[in-house]
Amino acid sequence: MVLYVVRHGETQFNVKKRYAGQTDVPLNERGIEQAKELAMKLAEEPFDIIVTSSLLRARMTAEQIAEYHREIPFVVMEAFREVCVGVYEGLTREEVQERYPELWARKCTRQLDDAPTGGETTRQCDARVAGGLATLKENYPEKNVLLVCHGFVSRVINRQLKGLSFEEMHEFSLGNCEVVKYEV
């Protein structure tokens, strides 16, 4: 399988540096333009399927790309939703530090088995994404798959496909509407 991983376009949460997590925010105007530009760049790529997270920002991005690939399947997979950051969702780092100083001091979003209250640990997210990747490998072994997902999920995918440690995972960053290609 050849896997193209795309991070969704820009949202107002990105602009204001707010934790989005699984909050279902749409693309902003710039994000829509980014998605349209990316769609044109990818128009000639021989995708066999487009897979997207169920969150609106990823779906909106994938739908722009699908405009140039109408003849191929479009699949929504919950496995590729962004990591849930619980009580951090909707807040900036400064707001989190002010409201949840003990959580912030624990650096729980960088820990393998810790998470903000109501959130998902890195290990839980990693397992969820691993299940999604296993499904893709099983269902599309010789195919070109485009996957639209999120920043943290793209780090998890990069870690898994490159055999990196959890610590090394955080060195990778995919910007809005950036693409990375993997031979799986």
List active site positions. 8, 82
Kind and range of the H or E run holding 56: helix 56-66
State whether the Cα torsion 111-114-116-120 is positive or negative: positive
d(CA 79, CA 12): 24
The SS3 assignment for 183 reads strand
* Structure tokens that stand for 38 in this block: 């990316």
How many Å separate Cα 37 from the centre of its chain?
19
Closest residue by Cα to residue 114 from 78, 149, 166, 173: 166
DSSP 18: B
